[in-house]
Structure 1
């Protein structure tokens, strides 16, 4: 396993930390592979009964790595989307409790990771949302995942506009369940994870399995649509143009 994800285990709770702080923990190929591998291994481990997902530094996960996305070629989109799907599915497939400790911004792919967790904990300064359209990338999987938590009207507003919202608003909407002081995000997430881990494991696993079964067909359809639509976006050249300009402006 690489260094883009750090796993530590205390008692029977594993903390999985996204470890690209210099890039605000943005998702690139290495992080996708490392996170998928780490989550699958933890799901198999008899020593782990719950998982907490968080980010190193000031961000939870800023989303897709801009340099990787800007350099993407049309013929690479299908493999990229398949790897993204595998990463999200590794979270969805967890039989054990998974709590997202959102220590900083969670945007795009980062917000989608958080939405795949069972419980989300954040502090008031956190911003979350789906800004893909502003980067020339269609919001497909993210908009589907938000449909599981939000009404359609609010989802349309956020997905089409691409604006991030504050954690207080997300909490009021119910998509972030626990809002705490910044220093308490990780401790609260671990406490929730321990409490869930103490529940009868078979009943817990089967309840999670039923939620997954209820939503799997929609998730699969969204991932398939995402692969088609992102290929169309890249064929039109919009992500390349928008992201190249953004990267140039950040120099």
Structure 2
């Protein structure tokens, strides 16, 4: 049997491809494998950016594999490290993740996309949360989507399961950019290379601050930053990279980031 998840690494960038014909749906075993891949990405100092996409041109991912569920995979089973798809609940993932949506992105597939930091999509991509029609709840999307797009649009998607084309997804702001299908991965890699050339300690601080501040008041979060109570902020303010950024600016040259 072919591997359901394919990866490649180049220049500090990890590409993760979901490859489970026909719909790139994810069963428990695939989810657990994705969790290990993203855990290793998080913990590998040589990897700076990840891209997640789907194989083929029709599906990014249809999400939870209902056929596997019918054969005994429990919907509340062991999804592995990081929860469903390896990203949704992965703790301390302080590196940028780009989702390149190459087609239909629905259910758990959309929830995986929402776990990324940037979403670019092919011009034929479509999006939906059809769980309502199969008698279950889009749990992660119910938490995340109303915080990302207007409440009434999010509730429309959750309560009716209706489909959005890529233009509407872009209009509501959960897609950053629309790209022709044959240019999608090229654009994702261009963006990943740009991020990989940037300061990894700053990225880590940004991600921790954004994540932790979501449940805090503005002043509470600011106090934690100024008192260096975020581990990533403390590491940044004590780093060689912090000094290098200032020196490079003063010397009018490009900084050399070491991530330490």
Cα offset for 1:212? 1.8
Partner Cα separation in structure 2 for residue 68 and residue 84 of structure 1 = 20
Asked whether the 8 Å contact 1:91–1:116 carries over to 2, the reply is no
| Residue matched to 1:121 | 120
Greater relative CO (CA pairs within 8 A, separation 6+): 1
**How many residue pairs get matched?**
213
Structure 2 unaligned residues grouped into runs of 5+: 217-260
Partner Cα separation in structure 2 for residue 204 and residue 80 of structure 1 = 30
2:208 counterpart SS class:
helix
Structure 1 unaligned residues grouped into runs of 5+: 218-251
| Residue matched to 1:12 | 12
Are 1:70 and 2:70 counterparts?
yes
Please give the TM-score of this superposition, normalised by the length of structure 1: 0.78
Are 1:101 and 2:132 counterparts?
no
Asked whether the 8 Å contact 1:92–1:117 carries over to 2, the reply is no
Cα offset for 1:52? 0.5
| Residue matched to 1:234 | none
Cα offset for 1:48? 1.2
| Residue matched to 1:132 | 131
Spell out, residue by residue over 1:68-101, the C-alpha distance to the aligned partner (whole angstroms, 9 max, x if none).
Answer: 233458xx44435777736234556422111001
Distance 1:196 1:83, change over 3 A: closer
Please give the TM-score of this superposition, normalised by the length of structure 2: 0.75
Instruction: Name whichever of 108-117 and 22-31 sits farther off.
Output: 22-31
1:79 counterpart SS class:
coil
Distance 1:215 1:36, change over 3 A: farther
Instruction: Give 1 or 2: higher helix fraction.
Output: 1
Distance 1:216 1:25, change over 3 A: farther
Partner Cα separation in structure 2 for residue 6 and residue 121 of structure 1 = 20
Distance 1:165 1:136, change over 3 A: same
Asked whether the 8 Å contact 1:92–1:212 carries over to 2, the reply is no
